Amino acid sequence: MSVLEIRDLHVSVGGDSPTHPDAKEILRGVDLTVRSGETHAIMGPNGSGKSTLAYSIAGHPKYTITGGTVTLDGEDVLEMSVDERARAGLFLAMQYPVEVPGVSVSNFLRTAATAIKGEAPKLRTWVKDVKTEMSGLEMDPAFAERNVNEGFSGGEKKRHEILQMRLLKPRIAILDETDSGLDVDALRIVSEGVNRSRAEGDIGVLLITHYTRILRYIKPDFVHVFVNGKVVEEGGPELAEKLENEGYAAYVKGSGETAA
């Protein structure tokens, strides 16, 4: 079993240092534990710091860690480079996947798998695995020869993110607003891909979202309400239903924050 532990995490953005006048503190003491086999939903209004949490765990250089710890199976994640975090088993599905002109999907995926596993996967097995996973995500086989995310629709980009997750088999997957921009059919297909990984049992999922619609397909074990850079309430799936009915207004008011 893998365990991602976040303790009293503080993160700022802007300026050359946390003391720079342009620096702004975004995360203000986040505590969270995600284990293999668990799905945690982080919900909150725009500007509450949800994506900052995701990118800070992944090692984005824009964000400065000013306090706290992040460990994966006892190893200090914050001391790892971005590629070391990926090899350790962390995966981030981005809200806005970037284009990689001149690099085909097939080459990108095999290069990523080689970098993470330390050796190239056997070609015959790899090709079969890619075709199987693409079929499961209802992706045209010709998609493999297109340049990464170049000219992709929103749904195609998100399916490609889940395709990566399925093939790379991380220990902990952080899904940053994977439901953003998806129509009903694409949402179902992407969710089914995540659920297949969950059913295999060796992955922990941290699912970041504004809305409950994806939680109708991916059932969370735990729901955390995120406001003003920290977790302000925790519960089970019933908490998502409460948020669907009542929104975030009471939490935002209680934090002193203005709704975004």
Instruction: List the CATH number of the domain containing 174.
Output: 3.40.50.300
Whether residue 214 lies inside any domain: the answer is: yes
Whether residue 244 lies inside any domain: the answer is: yes
Report, as an integer, the average pLDDT of 79-98.
Answer: 94
Whether residue 37 lies inside any domain: the answer is: yes
How far apart (Å, rounded) are the C-alpha atoms in residues 84 and 223?
29
Phi, psi (rounded to 5 degrees) for 109: -65, -45
pLDDT of residue 201: 77
Report, as an integer, the average pLDDT of 74-96.
Answer: 95
pLDDT of residue 15: 65
Angle between helices 184-200 and 123-136 (to 10 degrees): 130
Whether residue 67 lies inside any domain: the answer is: yes
pLDDT of residue 260: 35
Strands 63-72 and 100-104, by their bridges, are unpaired
Report, as an integer, the average pLDDT of 237-241.
Answer: 93
pLDDT of residue 111: 95
**What's the whole-model pTM score?**
0.91
Pick from 7-21, 73-87, 172-186: least confident: 7-21
Report, as an integer, the average pLDDT of 97-112.
Answer: 93
Identify the bridge partners of residue 104 per DSSP, sorted by sequence position: 147
pLDDT of 59 strictly over 80? yes
pLDDT of residue 202: 86
| Residue 103 DSSP code | E
Sign of CA dihedral 184, 187, 193, 194: negative
Q: Which residue has the tokens 């207004």?
A: 249
Whether residue 51 lies inside any domain: the answer is: yes
How far apart (Å, rounded) are the C-alpha atoms in residues 8 and 230?
9
Strands 3-13 and 63-72, by their bridges, are antiparallel
Whether residue 156 lies inside any domain: the answer is: no
Strands 172-176 and 204-209, by their bridges, are parallel
Whether residue 123 lies inside any domain: the answer is: no
Count the domains in the chain.
1
Share of the chain above pLDDT 90, in %: 80
Q: Which 3 state secondary structure label does DSSP give 14?
A: coil
Whether residue 182 lies inside any domain: the answer is: yes
pLDDT of residue 237: 93
How far apart (Å, rounded) are the C-alpha atoms in residues 136 and 131?
9
Model pLDDT for residues 123-177, shown as the tens digit of each residue: 989 999 999 999 999 999 999 999 999 999 989 999 999 999 999 999 999 999 9
- Owning domain of residue 179: 3-98+170-255
User: Where are any strands of DSSP class E within the chain?
Assistant: 3-13, 24-35, 39-43, 63-72, 75-76, 90-93, 100-104, 147-148, 172-176, 204-209, 222-227, 230-235
* Residue 162: other Cβ atoms inside 10 A: 25
pLDDT of residue 259: 37
Mean pLDDT of the chain: 92
Q: Checking phi first, is residue 37 left (phi over 0); if not, alpha (psi -120 to 50) or beta?
A: left
